[in-house]
């Protein structure tokens, strides 16, 4: 369990995949190629919150496992 927390976000404009290591409050990550915003301000806030919460919930089982029998197609 030594995984680095990072997100791969494809640019909505040029489709280049950008690796976001860390989301910073008030700073929207931009595409490395064309400079387009990769997420909205609201999404950025969500990712910041999510990144913080990951530090707090390590050790809690992945909730997705509980939905294994859910029918979704
Ligand atoms: Zn781009």
Please provide the DSSP assignment of the chain as one string: ------EEEE-TTT--EEEE---BTTB--B-TTT--BSS-HHHHHHHHHHHHHHHHHTTSPPGGGGGTT----
Residue 34 inside a domain? The answer is yes
pTM flag (> 0.75): no
State residue 5's pLDDT score. 62
pLDDT averaged per 10 residues, the chain (length 73): 71 96 92 96 91 70 62 60
User: Cα of 28 to ligand 1 centre, how many Å?
Assistant: 14
Q: Report the separation in Å between the CA atom of 17 and the middle of ligand 1, taken as the mean of its atom positions.
A: 8
66 within domain boundaries: no
Q: Give the Å distance between the CA of 36 and the centre of ligand 1.
A: 5
pLDDT at position 50 is: 83
In a domain, 72, yes or no: no
* Domain enclosing residue 33, as ranges: 12-57
**How many domains does the chain fold into?**
1
């Amino acid at each position: 369990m030594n995984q680095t927390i990072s997100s791969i976000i494809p640019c909505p404009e040029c489709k280049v995949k950008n690796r976001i290591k860390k989301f910073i409050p008030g700073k929207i990550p931009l595409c490395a190629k064309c400079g387009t915003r990769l997420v909205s301000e609201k999404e950025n806030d969500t990712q910041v919150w999510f990144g913080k919460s990951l530090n707090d919930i390590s050790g809690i089982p992945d909730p997705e496992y509980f939905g294994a029998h859910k029918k979704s197609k």
